[in-house]
Amino acid sequence: GGGSGGGGGAGGGGGGDGAGVVVRLVSNVARTQESTPGFTARYGRRVFPYRLKNIMCFQECGDDTDVAFLSLVVAEFGPDCPEPNRSKAYVSYIDSVQLFHCAGCALRGAGCRPAAECSMPDRCKRERKELVRRVLMGYLVRGRAT
């Protein structure tokens, strides 16, 4: 696990099965957005520099593969950006898929076989939702601190 782009654990691991969860910043690109015609007519033409980031969660399968189950895309406007976007962050996309498997599930750990049947679908879904909540809250708390 780990991979390029940094990252860190988000819980959900343990149990000695090698199936931890890793959060990774997989994309961090500088971009600009020009004001829309309606905005320009009212406030004047502006260019808004921002960073478009894609943060993803992966479950380590113990067989040297990682399975992505969450993607969070955010646009971060820094302190040098003109108002009204100065120092703002917008979540433009968040999605998760049911490829996360909790400890005790037959699909947890080695293989992460997507074609097999999940043995604990309700528990896996609950734990995946909790991980999604933790990642989103962690991002929002981190954003407020910077």
**Per residue in 30-89, pLDDT tens?**
999 998 899 888 888 889 999 999 999 998 877 778 888 999 999 999 999 988 889 999
CB-based contact 17:108 (threshold 8 Å): yes
| Residue in the structure block whose two tokens are 């293989």 | 111
Closest CA to 20 of 60, 69, 58: 60
Q: Give the global pTM.
A: 0.76
Percent of the chain with pLDDT over 70: 79
The string of DSSP codes covering 43-90 is H---EEEEEEEEEEEEEE-SSS-EEEEEEEEEEE--TTSPTTSTT-EE
The string of DSSP codes covering 86-126 is TT-EEEEEEEE-TT---TT-TTSSTT--TTSPPS-HHHHHH
Looking at residue 97, what is its pLDDT?
86
